[in-house]
Amino acid sequence: MTLSMLPLRRLVPLVTAAVALAAPGAASAAFFPGDAIDGPTNDIVSAGDLDIARDGTGAVAYLKRVDGVPHVFVSRLVDGGFTAPERLDTTLPGAAADPVVAASDGGRVVVAFTSNGQLNVVLRRNRAAAFQAPQPVADGASNLSVDMSINGVSYVSFTAPGASAADVRVARLGRLDTGFALLPDVLDIAPAQNAGDAARRSQVAVSADGTAVVVWGEADHVFSRRVFGTRVSTAPQDLNVATLDGHAGGAADLAEIDIEDDSSYAWAIFRQRFDDGRAHVVARRLVGSAYEAPVFVDGLGFPAPADAAETAIELNGRGEGIAATSAGGSVNGAILHEDVFNPGLPLGAGTAMSRPAVGMAENNDAFAAWLPGDGSVLIRPYDIDPTKRSVPPAGPAANLARPEFGAADPALGMDMAVNRAGDASAVFVQEAPDGRRLVVGAFDRVPGAFRTTTTAKYRKASLPLSWGASFDLLGPLTYRVEIDGAPVGETQTTKLTPAVPVADGVHTWRVVATDRRGQTATAPTRTLRLDGLPPELTVKVTGTRKAGRAVKVAVRVADGALARPVGSGVGAVRIAWGDKTRAATARTATHRYKRGTFTLTVTATDKVGNATVATQRLTIRK
């Protein structure tokens, strides 16, 4: 039994902004239809691949013709926006194909692609100024897959010609390496038969410790093998299912894999034909060195109305995940929660080329996007409560395509990715009479809650106001400070001194954080008490000014009580006698001087540190 289905590529997500649509259950996020990264031009070939690291950096790689020849271009995600595209294969005249990308924190990006069939990889190191030159890895490569650990270790799996048939190979980049090393061992089981070709293409996933798992198709079976650094496991696993829920299984292909931060745990999904004559999607969990019992995740039932055509799976670092399946006229999604895949449920209408893509954030927000074939790009979110076993239904669908950019073309690809906070991005191609555009649309959370930190007690008016940072991974926020309802300044830091002095007294103030799309979060309004003036002070000196006789000093001081209605209050009074003896900290005091001339200094300080100083020259006779 063989599968007669179209070979598929793993394609990428969509990010960016335009018109906001309300998000499910939240004034805390919004959908933004797409912005154009490139175009309009008829030279855009396909959307390629997108990856976003947990810190919100990332990149999209795609194909675009130059002088009629397809080449690889990349646009990086920096501060929530995509940079101007840059060509990566300027030194390679051949036709490029199959671009894939992986990203990790700090702006580290790896792009793999073929140029005239030669596998090339390009690295941009953490916070580096530019991409390195392309590194050739292997000839005759196709069907590329790339992944990177959160610590920067990368693997590329691909198909390459062997001695007698197509083989699955792997190359590795260590965290501190500057180039990929091709592993000498092939991964497939029987070198004499084709593996990793067409719908049997491989996929690789990398855990936090830098080890990898690769899945691929070979001889109507799906296999899995671990890779430990440069060593290939000697215990490959056959994932095919003989029977499931009473149904006999047959040929399998289109394997997908994703792995937790803990390398002991991963989930694979794949298509397998069963005794209803239809291809279904099966999921199996890898625990250690073996796969657990399989489960259906396509939601198609028996007999299925159509073959499962495309699959996608994504896990976060803790193993929460989502899978999506397109089949005939629908797209279904299944949520993985607490190590259990919930039944697949319909997300919406689709076609045989719906290009489902999924994303799973570290905060347990999940997303599924697809192209239903009517020119739109639909996305639905799941708001999963990690404290509950139950899984809510997907939220309402939003269209990420801009009508003025024309119809989104499923044949030109689509992909999705998310950062750790649940900001989702998807990339796709729209075509209008003036040409094609590479477009990115987004689900963007509003800035996080924050509070002011300046005290509500009296303080100096000259000191800056301060507040805690509002959390947002998509670029710097602008903070607007308002006092008594009126703005007094803006900044992208967490401190501000109003340019125009604020009058002494009691005020209200708040800070409004605004992101790059105009979404806001407001700190709670608090009381602001300002005291910029020093205490009022009078000093009276009495007594006989002779050596050894008592001189009495009486201080009258007030802060906000004599001439001003407000003030922080008197903090301290200090009487310095001027003869190097210990000062007195009191409002009245007596002192006996020796003969001489001395400067009496009285300092009155209010509770915020404003000070008034009065001096008087005293001449003490014999």
Please state the domain extents for the chain.
Answer: 21-445, 458-530, 536-620
Which pLDDT belongs to residue 245? 96
Mean pLDDT value across residues 111-118: 97
pLDDT value of residue 564: 53
For residues 315 and 259, is the Cβ–Cβ distance under 8 A?
A: yes
Per-residue pLDDT, 560: 66
Q: Nearest-CA neighbor of 313 among 247, 360, 277, 380?
A: 360
Of 1-15, 275-289, 470-484, 501-515, where does mean pLDDT reach its minimum?
A: 1-15
- Predicted pLDDT at 330: 92
Nearest of 602, 616, 349, 422 to residue 30 by alpha carbon: 422
pLDDT reported for residue 24: 39
Domains 21-445 and 458-530 equal at CATH topology level: no
Nearest to 302 by CA among 249, 239, 353, 355: 249
The per-residue pLDDT for 74 is 98
Q: Is 318 exposed, middle or buried (0-12, 13-18, 19+ CB in 10 A)?
A: middle
At residue 191, the pLDDT reads 84
Q: Could you tell me which CATH class the domain 458-530 is placed in?
A: mainly beta
Rounded to an integer, the average pLDDT of 246-273 is 98
User: In Å, what is the CA distance from 615 to each residue of 415, 563, 578, 581, 618?
Assistant: 77, 22, 10, 16, 10
Average pLDDT (278-283) is 98
Half-sphere exposure of 350 (CA within 13 A, CB side): 31
CATH 2.130.10.10 for the 21-445 domain, yes or no = yes
Range with lowest mean pLDDT among 140-144, 212-216, 468-472, 563-567? 563-567
pLDDT of residue 565: 57
- Please, what is the Cα angle at 176 between 170 and 178, to 5 degrees? 65
Residues 52 and 324: their CA atoms lie apart, in Å, by 19
pLDDT of residue 15: 32
Lowest mean pLDDT among 51-60, 187-196, 429-438: 187-196
Q: Which helix (H) or strand (E) holds 294?
A: none
Residue 132 one-letter amino acid: Q
Instruction: Give first-to-last CA distance, the chain, whole Å.
Output: 123
Q: Which two tokens stand for residue 610?
A: 């404003």
From residue 98, alpha-carbon distances to 71, 116, 363, 439 in Å are 10, 11, 31, 19
pLDDT the model gives residue 389: 82
**Mean pLDDT, residues 488-507 taken together:** 95
Distance between CA atoms of residues 132 and 531, nearest Å: 57
Residue 164 has pLDDT above 60, yes or no: yes
What is the residue whose two structure tokens read 């792995």?
259
pLDDT at position 418, please? 98
Please state, in angstroms and rounded to a whole number, the distance separating the CA atoms of residues 600 and 576: 6
User: 11, exposed or middle or buried, with CB in 10 Å at 0-12, 13-18, 19+?
Assistant: buried
Reported CATH class of domain 536-620: mainly beta
Instruction: Estimate to the nearest angstrom the gap between the alpha carbon of 535 and the chain centroid.
Output: 52
Helix (H, G, I), strand (E, B) or coil at 292: coil
For position 392, what pLDDT does the model report?
86
Query: What CA–CA distance (Å, rounded) separates 594 from 592?
Result: 7
Measure the CA–CA gap between 569 and 608, rounded to whole angstroms. Answer: 8
Nearest alpha carbon to residue 446 among 4, 13, 31: 31
Residue 19 pLDDT more than 60?
no
Please tell me the predicted confidence (pLDDT) of residue 129.
Answer: 84
Q: Given a cut of 50, is residue 21 above it in pLDDT? A: no
Question: What are the strands, taking DSSP E only, across 53-180?
Answer: 58-66, 69-78, 81-82, 86-87, 96-104, 108-115, 118-124, 135-138, 142-148, 154-161, 166-173
* pTM of the entire predicted model: 0.88
Which residue in this structure is represented by tokens 């030159």? 133
Using the CB atoms, write b or e for 258-284: b if 16+ within 10 Å.
bbbbebebbbbbbbbbbeeebbbbbbb
For residue 65, pLDDT over 80 is answered with: yes
Please, which pLDDT band fits residue 1 given cuts at 50, 70 and 90?
A: very low
